Structure 1
Amino acid sequence: MRARLPVTLLALAVLAAAGPVASQTPLPAPPPAVDPLDSRDAKRVDRMEKVVRELRAIVFQLRDTGKPVVVQPADTDARMAEMAEKLSDLEQTLRSLNSTIDTATRDLDAARRENTTLKTQLEGLNQRLATMEQRLASTAVAAAEAEPTAAPTAPAGDPTKDFAQARQLMLAGDYDAAETAFATFVEAYPDAQRTPEANYWLGKTLSVRGAYANAAQAYIGAIRGWPQTSWAPDAVVELSRSLIALKKPADACNALAEFSRRYPKAPPTVASRAAAARTQAKCAA
């Protein structure tokens, strides 16, 4: 019998026989190398490196300057939030400013419209004042025709003496004789220096007996040219009262408006009577 070879030797023999065949079969490729750091680990490493750089800067700054170190955040989130807040405040301020400008513009437009309205009203008032004397004169003349005055007596020929005589009659309370004397003076001396004052006193005597139409005509003659005399403001007030009695409140208000404009420094008693006349005539403020 043939002797058996050991198992080990037999296996080696088999491998030797199969060697050339095995050498022709390629071995599988090794798996690709795997990066031990995934993406999250890489980000963590970047942040750590950034912190290290900041710490180094802090240490060097403290060493070089010896001053307290203010640590600034590495990210910009806080600064972006701060800038966003400031931008929001700026936008709010801008909106408030725009609102203020819009309000001022509306107020200016309203003021311009009011100014135009006032200008128109002033022009109308000036026109009414310009025609006031003509209207008052026409009213007084028409009323005078319906109620003639007493026939004047012949003057003595001396204006000074005739005026003094008429005034003395009035001071004595003889209003009828004073009325006749002043009417005679006005007719005899139409251009005398004291003729306007004679018209004033004539108007007074006519008002006493209720002859308001003739009184208004006399007062108009007294204030023609708006004299700056002691009796002139009272003559305007008496004219307005006569017009109120004649149921002509609009004309009375026009006369009182001229009183305020022509005689701003009238005596308090006269100004008080003018205010009462305005109330009675229901003049506009």
Structure 2
Amino acid sequence: MNNKPFRLKRSAVATAVGLCLIGGGFAMAQQQPLEPVQWDKRRLDQLDRNVRRLERALTQRNAAGQPVLVEPDPEVVVLQGQVEIFERRLGDLEATFRRVNAESERLTFDLDEANRNNRELSSRVGTLENRLKQMEEEAELNAPIEANSPTGNAAGDLQAAMRLSGDDARRGMRALETVTVTWPDTPQAREAFSRLGDMYVASRDNAGAVSFYAQALNGWPRTPWAAETTLKLAEALRVTDRKTQACATLTDFTRRYGEAATAQQKTRATQMRSRAECS
């Protein structure tokens, strides 16, 4: 018998190795697809006997110094090489994925920081815009009063100023003062002074109201609001501790507007005389 290692041909090796791999739970690729085998107890027993017979033959040859060398299937070698290539590529992809993840985390952090900065900048810009708006409003409201007629006539300007007073007190006051400057010595200017006095009283500035009421009553106008404005002037004088002037104003009320005054106004005048301790 030849002492050289026994080499199985490719077909014999494929058959033997196939049987071994099937017994261990693996499958080897074949050249041609086989018909599916119906495994029953008889076939399984036969397969078991064949595997045991093959094992004994291999053991005997190895014991006799004639080891069986199974040449690797070239297709298996190719597949192993491809697997190694795939593994390297997979490693490269994993490394790339890790780099992308790290870059994504960095970009996310940068984006969050940029958003925070944008919010802070937006807040600061909003604050500055509000301050600028307030400064513009203050500059507008504190600018010198100049003659200006939005409607082109005194009555229209007065009505517009009174409507504005209901929505914006400061702008309304400025509009009423504009009426007094634009249309001096008119009934509308005197009524605007009276309205200004009311607004100063509402803001608890009775001293300021006295001046406007006095200007409204300059010349003792014969208008529907004159009697009421006289009583308001007297009350503002009393509140600011000018009782003598308050009593004199109440005397003027009786002399100039007493006949046309309402019963309620006359009652109020009597009560105000008592509070001012008029003689």
Q: TM-score, normalised by structure 1?
A: 0.44
Higher normalized contact order (CA 8 Å, seq sep 6+, divided by chain length): 1
Which structure is larger by alpha-carbon Rg, 1 or 2? 1
Task: Give me the TM-score of the superposition, normalised by structure 2.
Answer: 0.44
